[in-house]
């Protein structure tokens, strides 16, 4: 086997091993598309759109290693990112059906921060972290 082919095979094997581990993903990233950092949102409803790259989005219920789904944190800290993201906490939303959009109703006027985190089917953030943050302001209509 020539050196170039050997390097390609080694790289592919490394990718397969990382995917088989479930949480490991060196290329995963998430972007908060809207609201963009610095945006002003009119009214109390905030529509959030997200883009994930480098990882397949899948519903958490499928329990498939190598996949992820979005988690949103509105004006709350993420807490430890080496453990499962808690459910039932005000300000934390699990988009566990692999959604890429969320409509947050009744957001108070003023400055806000949203953090997006990609997590595996167990709701544990990917390693390395795939996260994005946007600051925005809500103004009444």
Quick: pLDDT tens for 24-67: 445 899 999 999 999 999 999 999 999 999 999 999 999 999 99
How many domains is the chain partitioned into structurally?
Answer: 1
Q: In angstroms, rounded to a whole number, what is the distance separating the alpha carbons of residues 127 and 67?
A: 12
Residue-wise pLDDT for 80-122, tens only, equals 999 999 999 999 999 999 999 999 999 999 999 999 999 999 9
CA 56-74-126 angle, to 5 degrees, is: 30
φ/ψ (deg, to 5) at 26 = -80, -20
- pLDDT score of 26: 57
Q: Look up the domain containing 126 and give its range.
A: 3-139
End-to-end CA distance of the chain: 67
The model's pTM: 0.81
Q: Let me know: does 93 contact 71? Beta carbons within 8 Å.
A: yes
- CATH number of the structural domain spanning residue 51: 2.60.40.10
């Amino acid at each position: 086997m020539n050196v170039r082919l050997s390097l390609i095979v080694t790289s592919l094997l490394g990718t397969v091993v990382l995917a088989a581990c479930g949480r490991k993903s060196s290329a995963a990233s998430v972007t908060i598309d809207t609201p963009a950092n610095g945006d002003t949102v009119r009214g109390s409803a905030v529509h959030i759109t997200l883009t994930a790259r480098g990882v397949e989005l899948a519903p958490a219920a499928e329990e498939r290693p190598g996949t992820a789904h979005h988690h949103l944190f509105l004006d709350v800290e993420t807490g430890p990112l080496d453990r499962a993201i808690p459910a039932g906490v005000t300000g934390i939303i699990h988009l566990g059906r692999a959604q890429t959009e969320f409509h947050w109703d009744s957001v108070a006027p003023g400055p806000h921060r949203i953090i997006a985190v990609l997590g595996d089917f167990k709701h544990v953030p990917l390693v390395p972290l795939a996260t994005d943050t946007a600051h925005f302001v809500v103004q009444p209509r």
